[in-house]
Amino acid sequence: MRAAVRATPRHRFVHRFRANSDGPLHDLDADPISLLPVVYHGQPLTHVAADGTPLPSTNSEAAYVLWLVERLGVEPTQQILEIGSGSGWLLAVMAHLAGPEGAVTGIEIIPSLADQSRADLAELGRGNARVLTADATCEPISGAPFDRVIITAATWSLPAAFFDLVAEGGKLLVPLRLPRDEGCEVTLLRRESCGFRAEWSFPGFFVPLVGASQSAEIARVRIDEWTVQAGIDAEPSLSYPFWFASLAPSLPGTASPAFRRHLAMTEPGFTIFEPAAARPAAAKWLSDFGLLDGKAGSAAIMRAGRLIGYGAPTATRQLLESYRRWCDLGMPGPTAYKLQVIPTEATVSNETAALTEVRGDSTFIRSIDAHAGAWCNLLERTSS
């Protein structure tokens, strides 16, 4: 990996960009010397079009995506596919890892990025890499099946064609979007005869995959605006300490992200609560979350160190019931669930599944250890 990165300078694939998504506009071609420290600082770089418009694509945090490629296990002679190849930098790194007897294919839906990455790859001499301008969610991809596939964008549904992209026993690394939330589970899937089975997952954030069947609404509300629309008191109706093992007063507790994912997967009323205009927006992983029950005029918000309710207590009770169920299961995080992804048309009843979710052409089946929650029986026997 070190040799591949040294042979693939990141700045050769960066042109107009903003550091993260809100930094100043930079043009590396116009000022290469002074901008090199920015490019190699490590943060995500948002690509910007020639007219100054931000593109829905980033040159992701280098150390993070390189770590993901290591988890994917790219080896010499393999056939590799990257969906959402963007600038082409990661594609070039994988082309070096695959070697002259291997080949890598990048799919990029934004024509200007695809054109630029083709030129940059050619200038670097990566003859075993190609970039196709296409919508991978609905257009056929030549060269399938591939030994390794990586999707570097948050994906809602695996289209039916994706099941034929990966060779039997091959691997697909994909950030799977959470229902109604901004985050995703970066998941390594192994191809099996019936579909995919997860080997590993880790929380993350990626820009959404653009294409057919990828629409997924994020439930996002500003509580000060919602109380006006709902006609309820703008002041909280209840507020309790709820630390979630917080390490600092202004930060969510260490258990908070795991419960947030559980809530997003299990509760249709899951909502991200944006701050009022007077309060600065928090980072995605620090944002307030909870449940919203519009019919009951009720909201429950998990904010750093507090559980806050608005209107009727309905949403707060529902949130606490969900929290109790989560605790009874042993506070499972994303890796506690065994995930299987199969074509929706092949879906069969699975009585052991804890969660089954149909997402267009693919169905996500999550199961948990059969002994999860069994420790509660010990408490019941003790009390009796």
Active-site residues, by number, are: 60
Q: How many CB atoms lie within 10 A of CB 111?
A: 9
Strands (E), 109-165: 129-133, 146-151
Residues with Cβ within 8 Å of residue 23, at least 6 apart in sequence: none
> If you compute the radius of gyration of the chain from its CA atoms, what whole number of angstroms results?
23
What one-letter code names the amino acid at 366? R
Would you call the peptide bond into 44 cis, given omega within 30 degrees of 0 as the criterion? Answer: no
User: Taking a C-beta distance cutoff of 8 angstroms, is the pair 65, 152 a contact?
Assistant: yes
Structure tokens at 133: 């301008």
Q: How many CB atoms lie within 10 A of CB 374?
A: 12
Structure tokens at 342: 């199969």
Residue entry with tokens 């039916």:
160
What one-letter code names the amino acid at 364? F
Report CA-CA distances (Å) from 308 to 68, 86, 290, 293: 37, 41, 9, 14
User: Taking a C-beta distance cutoff of 8 angstroms, is the pair 290, 300 a contact?
Assistant: yes
d(CA 132, CA 108): 6
In the 8-state DSSP scheme, what is residue 208? B
d(CA 78, CA 72): 12
What one-letter code names the amino acid at 211? G
